[in-house]
């Protein structure tokens, strides 16, 4: 009889952790596992989750990202009641809020195996010291009831060990993968696609794909664009994504007089096709686990100019398949973009080298490795 495995994530928006969670629950071996998915506040991918064949989908509306003590308590109670009813053998949590409340609820519900995936930590150096210390203390608390950790990057695993969240042998690195073969097989009429986006086919395009939230520093991308446009005015800029900083981005684009060359495409479901339209991919994040979108760019043969955060250096080899600079280094990012635009042969060579990603970054390998871990942990509780 298949073993019930319940994944819990705070919000199903368009993002690496969310899309990989949906892929995992829909691709687990049905002969071995019965997948369940619990999410919180409404997200763009909720309908996708409801339509997944063979996946039991549940929503706990009180589970939200913001710190709301009363709502958080209601979410904990609701999650505990739901897990007691569902009786999964494994609870696997993702994201900070679902990671804390979901693991606590699993413990209260008597779930024997509790796993947490680290897609980057909820505490960062950009927070005030008291807030950061409080979040680390909370993570240390729930770490004690966690059977196993998965980290998307070696950098995240090392940090967890350094902070005392877990011992070295309690965490396994399982990459946040992409469908490498599907991306590599993608064929696009780039001329038609650029016109669909309001771009001129004969001009270079520099793009970024990300939610418009502080973590991704999208205003830095606008400022990079201004510096690039100042020296190479024929360049066009494309931002794919939406979110809370949309108004701020629009204001910055207007302030820097970029309206004619900058396109805000909103959320899109055809990212692999859009990648084929780019000459350079840029990511200005302040922190990450391991940016899945880097993998999408590299698998598409597009050189990357990004920030050296967390696991970025585990996939971007500086000067080989892209460039990495310090977060916030707008002049440096712009200089690297200009260097690639000025040397199409260099950009093409970097793109080709980026396309040869190892199997550990493939999403099918990601699911297989999770299944192996599930099987080993379940064997442990039976022994």
What whole-number distance in Å separates Cα of residue 57 and Cα of residue 35? 9
As given in the structure block, the two tokens for residue 67 are 């710190």
Q: At what angle do helices 96-108 and 69-86 cross, to 10 degrees?
A: 50
Strand partners, 225: none
User: Which ranges of 202-329 would DSSP assign to H, the alpha helix?
Assistant: 218-231, 246-255, 271-275, 292-299
pLDDT per residue, tens digit, the chain (383 aa), is 899 999 999 999 888 889 999 999 999 999 999 999 999 999 999 999 999 999 999 999 999 988 888 999 999 999 999 999 999 999 999 988 999 999 999 999 999 999 999 998 888 888 889 988 988 999 999 999 999 999 999 999 999 999 999 999 999 999 989 999 999 889 999 999 999 999 999 999 999 999 999 999 999 999 999 999 999 999 999 999 999 999 999 999 999 999 999 999 999 989 999 999 999 999 999 998 888 899 999 999 999 999 999 889 999 999 999 999 999 999 999 999 999 999 999 999 999 888 788 889 999 999 999 999 999 999 988 65
Q: At what angle do helices 246-255 and 218-231 cross, to 10 degrees?
A: 20
Coil vs helix vs strand at 58: strand
For the chain, the straight-line distance linking the first and the last C-alpha, in angstroms and rounded, comes to: 18
Burial of residue 193 (CB within 10 Å: 0-12, 13-18, 19+) is middle
Q: What is the 3-state secondary structure (H, E, C) of 191-237?
A: HHHHHHCCCCCCCCEEEEECCCCHHHCHHHHHHHHHHHHHHCCCCEE
DSSP tag of 329: -
Q: Please report the pLDDT score of residue 354 as a whole number.
A: 80
Q: Determine how β-strand 322-325 pairs with β-strand 304-307.
A: parallel
Q: Please report the pLDDT score of residue 289 as a whole number.
A: 85
Taken in order of first residue, the domains within the chain and their CATH numbers are 3-177+362-382 (3.40.50.2000), 180-358 (3.40.50.2000)
Question: Strand (E) positions, the chain?
Answer: 3-9, 33-39, 56-59, 90-94, 113-118, 148-151, 171-173, 205-209, 236-240, 262-266, 280-283, 304-307, 322-325
Is residue 311 within 8 Å of 158, Cβ to Cβ? Answer: no
What whole-number distance in Å separates Cα of residue 153 and Cα of residue 176? 8
Q: Determine how β-strand 280-283 pairs with β-strand 262-266.
A: unpaired
Q: Please report the pLDDT score of residue 356 as a whole number.
A: 80
Half-sphere CA count of 350, side-chain side, radius 13 A: 27
Q: Show Cβ contacts of residue 293 under 8 Å, excluding neighbours closer than 6 positions.
A: 16, 209, 210, 271, 281, 283
Q: Please report the pLDDT score of residue 349 as a whole number.
A: 92
- The model's pTM is 0.92
CB atoms within 10 A of CB 169: 7
């Amino acid at each position: 009889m298949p073993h019930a495995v319940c994944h819990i994530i705070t919000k199903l928006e368009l993002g690496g952790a969310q899309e990989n969670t949906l892929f995992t629950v829909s691709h687990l071996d049905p002969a071995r596992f019965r997948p369940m998915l619990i999410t919180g506040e409404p997200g763009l991918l909720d309908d996708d989750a409801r339509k997944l064949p063979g996946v039991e989908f549940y929503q706990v509306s009180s589970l939200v990202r913001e710190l709301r003590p009363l709502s958080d308590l209601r979410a904990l109670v609701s999650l505990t009641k739901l897990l007691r009813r569902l009786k999964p053998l494994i609870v696997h949590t993702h994201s900070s809020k679902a990671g804390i409340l979901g693991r606590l609820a699993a413990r209260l519900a008597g779930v024997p195996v509790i796993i947490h995936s680290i897609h980057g930590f909820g505490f960062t150096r950009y927070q005030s010291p008291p807030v950061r210390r409080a979040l680390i203390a909370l993570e240390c608390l729930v770490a004690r009831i966690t059977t196993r950790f998965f980290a998307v990057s070696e950098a995240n695993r090392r940090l967890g060990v350094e902070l005392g969240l877990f011992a070295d042998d309690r965490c396994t690195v399982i990459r946040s993968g992409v469908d490498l073969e599907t991306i590599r097989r993608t064929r696009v009429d780039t001329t038609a696609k650029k016109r669909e986006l309001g771009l001129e086919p004969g001009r270079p395009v520099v793009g970024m794909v990300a939610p418009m939230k502080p973590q991704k520093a999208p205003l830095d991308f606008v400022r990079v664009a201004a510096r690039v446009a100042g020296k190479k005015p024929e360049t066009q800029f494309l931002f794919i994504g939406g979110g809370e900083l949309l108004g701020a981005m629009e204001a910055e684009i207007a302030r820097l007089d970029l309206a004619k060359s900058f396109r805000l495409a909103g959320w899109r479901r055809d990212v692999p096709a859009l990648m084929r339209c780019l000459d350079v991919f840029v990511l200005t994040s302040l922190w990450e686990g391991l940016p899945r979108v880097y993998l999408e760019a590299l698998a598409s043969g597009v050189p990357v100019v990004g920030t050296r955060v967390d696991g970025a250096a585990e996939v971007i080899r500086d000067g080989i398949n892209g460039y990495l600079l310090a977060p916030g280094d707008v002049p440096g990012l712009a200089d690297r973009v200009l260097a690639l635009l000025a040397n199409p042969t260099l950009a093409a060579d970097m793109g080709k080298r980026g396309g040869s990603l190892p199997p550990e970054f493939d999403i099918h390998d990601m699911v297989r490795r999770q299944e192996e871990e599930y099987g080993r942990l379940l064997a442990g509780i039976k022994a």
